[in-house]
């Protein structure tokens, strides 16, 4: 036969864990903005529109008033342009994938950030303004 098991000691009561603070921004579904919402926020000065596409895409066409910082540079540790510091950021790219990545990266740095669902393709489809590198009408590349 086996020897008797030692008595089980009572587990000390534990205090509930403090709630985990949410990350700066969760970018799932409802947190992303539609192009018209992003345009309004940028036009009203509530946020800065940050285009994270590469230089050739930016030159072909971008939202008027947007700032430019390619995702590749952001991932390499580049700081936000001075005009975007201390303000909420709405990232935009061509289709919405890179901008979502940029917004998550910025949120990880403690910056209030979201992005444009559908990117500049959806922006142009909704008839919102697009300007080119020469100041004329632009195209989404």
Supply the residues annotated as catalytic. 93
Determine the Cα–Cα distance for residues 51 and 62; give it in Å rounded to an integer.
8
Work out whether strand 48-51 and strand 67-68 pair parallel, antiparallel, or are unpaired.
parallel
SS3 8: coil
69: exposed, middle or buried (Cβ count in 10 Å: 0-12, 13-18, 19+): buried
Half-sphere exposure at residue 74, Cβ-oriented, CA atoms within 13 angstroms:
26
**CB contact set of 60 (below 8 Å; sequence gap of 6+):** 132, 133, 138, 139, 140, 141
**Could you count the other beta carbons within 10 Å of the beta carbon of residue 92?**
29
SS3 33: strand
């Amino acid at each position: 036969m086996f020897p008797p098991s030692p008595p089980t000691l009572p587990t000390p009561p534990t205090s509930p864990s403090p709630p985990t603070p949410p990350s700066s921004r969760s970018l799932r579904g409802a947190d992303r903005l539609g192009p018209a919402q992003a345009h309004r926020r940028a036009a009203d000065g509530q946020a800065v529109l940050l285009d994270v596409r590469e230089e050739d895409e930016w030159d072909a066409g971008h939202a008027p008033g947007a700032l430019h910082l390619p995702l590749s540079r952001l991932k390499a540790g580049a700081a936000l342009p001075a005009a975007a510091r201390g303000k909420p950021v709405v990232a935009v790219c061509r289709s919405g994938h890179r901008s979502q990545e940029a917004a998550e990266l910025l949120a990880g740095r403690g910056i209030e950030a979201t992005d444009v669902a559908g990117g500049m393709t959806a922006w142009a489809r909704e008839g919102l303004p697009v300007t080119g590198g020469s100041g004329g009408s632009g195209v989404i590349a």
